[in-house]
Amino acid sequence: MDSGALTLGPNLGPEIMSQIDLLAACSESAECLTRSYLTDQHARANDLVLGWMGKAGMDCGVDPVGNALGRYEGRRPGLPALILGSHLDTVRDAGKYDGMLGVVTAIACVKALKDAGERLDFAIEVVGFGDEEGVRFQSTLLGSRALAGTFDMSLLDKRDVDGMTMAQAMRDFGLDPARVPQAAKRPDQVLAYVELHIEQGPVLEAESLPLGAVTSIAGATRLEVAISGTSGHAGTVPMVGRKDALAAAAEAVMAVETICCGADELVGTVGRLEVAPGAVNVIPGEARFSVDIRAAEDMPRHRAVNAVIGEIREICARRGLTLELERNHESPSCPCAPWLIEQIARAIAAEGIALRRLPSGAGHDAMAMAALCDVGMLFVRCAGGISHNPAEAITMEDAASGARALLRFIRDFEPEARRAVAAL
């Protein structure tokens, strides 16, 4: 089928960018973009997205875990769906494209089909996941795990910094925590999940390419570390024998860096460090920090995590401090399905763009959706590879290129290719 029959309108780029700006205004602070799960800002973002989904001819609503979900039927009702989308939550002081670009672009593609009165041999569902970053409850991919049927119900007891449980936050949001399992899709309802996302890395820009086809998503392990020592008077306690929790944490941070600098494929980050009591003239008695370690393959990551844990234990034992350490996130590296990579690559090439396959160092909802169905990703170039930073930026032209390639992928989508590969 000739995808040329359908083109996204001349205002496509401006429309996408203006919707991104409207979503960016749904923020917990006017100074910097922060939007967490089950907050008023999340509700406002859902309202915007559901309005756009309705205009795109989708039946839509909020699912039992707070995702915004829309469905555009195929040639007859009830057909299995190609699921598109990404997340609507952000990190703190975030950029405005991470997640949101994938949701807005998917809706624009469905609207182009609807405006042309076109129906396909499959349904399309678009999802705006409520929590991918895990900022509020320190647990990530909540929305996509619920859709994939892998949501861990014990997480409902997790508390945010104000002590509110996830279950209570759901009830305040108008949800019934007991219904979370009803968000799950059955495998027979789903053909594939494909996510358009900014690259969040420098490769496409360095090679002057607007788009790329993702081959795999790096696995990640996150640790929560609490070191306890003895706070004391900064002026009277001799250096020898101090039980300084921050000094121990500082050694641990350097151990993460040293171990992860030891192998090209590893990255390690301590993104959050809290110290108590936090006074200039008091030896810190408590230090709490996060560790995030990633690699394209699982074995190097496991080796690095074990080495880091060993080092932290040795530091605390040598200094006579107590240690609490929790693995609060573990996601294996996730290969994208070759048949989807090929169809995404074909759509990019049909847009006249040189093809680049590349791995993703960042994690995505596709990792959770891989428990339900085959997954693919389409990357859009971002300025300087900068992300998780208000300087995150894309061009209007690249936004339009991404939408055109995604629409071409949708119109030329061959779900039977999945079965052909399976039969090999």
- Interface residues with ligand HGY (CB under 6 A)? 132-133, 140, 362-363
State the nearest-atom distance from the C-beta of 274 to ligand HGY, in Å. 19
Residue 281 corresponds to which tokens in the numbers above?
Answer: 């003239």
- Closer residue to Mn ion in complex, CB, 143/300: 143
Helix (H) or strand (E) holding 15: helix 12-24
Nearest distance, CB of residue 363 and ligand HGY, angstroms: 4
Residue 363: name its binding partner from Mn ion, ligand HGY, none (Cβ under 5 to 8 Å by kind).
ligand HGY
C-alpha span between 144 and 87 (Å, rounded): 9
392: partner contacted, choices Mn ion, ligand HGY, none (Cβ within 5-8 A by kind): none
Q: Which is nearer to ligand HGY, 111 or 197 (CB)?
A: 197
Concatenating the DSSP letter of every residue in 56-89 gives: TT-EEEE-TTS-EEEEE--SSTT--EEEEEEE--
Q: How far is the CB of 45 from ligand HGY (least distance, A)?
A: 17
Q: How far apart are CB 310 and Mn ion at their closest, in Å? A: 29
Q: Decide: 102 and 20 in contact? Cβ < 8 Å.
A: no
Alpha-carbon gap, residue 212 to 343, rounded angstroms = 12
Size of the residue set binding Mn ion (CB under 5 A): 2
User: Which residue number, 350 or 362, has a Cβ lying nearer to ligand HGY?
Assistant: 362
Smallest gap from Cβ 165 to ligand HGY, in A, equals: 22
- Report yes or no: 287 and 248 within 8 Å, Cβ to Cβ: yes
Q: Which is nearer to Mn ion, 98 or 160 (CB)?
A: 98
User: Smallest distance, Å, CB 50 to Mn ion?
Assistant: 20
Which residue's CB is nearer to Mn ion, number 98 or number 286? Answer: 98
Confirm if 45 and 131 have CB atoms less than 8 A apart.
Answer: no
Specify burial of residue 21 (Cβ count, 10 A radius: 0-12, 13-18, 19+): exposed
CA nearest neighbour of 111 among 81, 69, 80, 70: 70
Say which residue the tokens 């401006």 belong to: 14
Residue 398's binding partner out of ligand HGY, Mn ion, none, with CB under 5 to 8 Å set by partner kind: none
Q: Which does 144 bind (CB under 5 to 8 A by kind): ligand HGY, Mn ion, none?
A: none
Choose the one of ligand HGY, Mn ion, none that binds residue 99, judging by a C-beta under 5 to 8 angstroms depending on kind: Mn ion
Q: Kindly tell me which of 189 and 389 has the beta carbon lying closer to ligand HGY.
A: 389
Name which of ligand HGY, Mn ion, none residue 229 binds, using a CB cut-off of 5 to 8 Å depending on partner kind: none
- The residue among 70 and 361 lying less far from Mn ion, judged by its C-beta, is 361
Residue 169 Cα to chain centre, angstroms: 21
Q: Which is nearer to ligand HGY, 63 or 133 (CB)?
A: 133
Task: Choose between 99 and 361: whose C-beta lies nearer to Mn ion.
Answer: 99
Q: Which one-letter DSSP state was computed for residue 165?
A: B
Residue 331 interacts, among Mn ion, ligand HGY, none and using kind-specific CB cut-offs from 5 to 8 Å, with none
| Minimum separation from the CB atom of position 362 to ligand HGY (A) | 4
Contacts (Cβ under 8 Å, ≥6 apart) of 2: none
Which residue reads 């959770």 in tokens? 368
What sign has the CA pseudo-torsion 94, 216, 2, 77?
negative
In the complex, least distance from residue 91 CB atom to ligand HGY, rounded to whole angstroms:
7
* Residues 106-165 interacting with Mn ion (rule: CB under 5 A): none
Residue 384 DSSP SS3: helix
What's the one-letter identity of residue 169?
A: A
Tokens in use for 241?
């024998």
Rounded (10°) CA dihedral 305, 99, 6, 115: 140
Binding to Mn ion, residues 77-106 (CB under 5 A): 98-99
Nearest distance from C-beta of residue 304 to ligand HGY, angstroms: 16
Which helix (H) or strand (E) element contains residue 105? helix 100-115
Residue 125 touches which of Mn ion, ligand HGY, none (Cβ within 5-8 Å per kind): none
Chain contacts with Mn ion (rule: CB under 5 A):
98-99
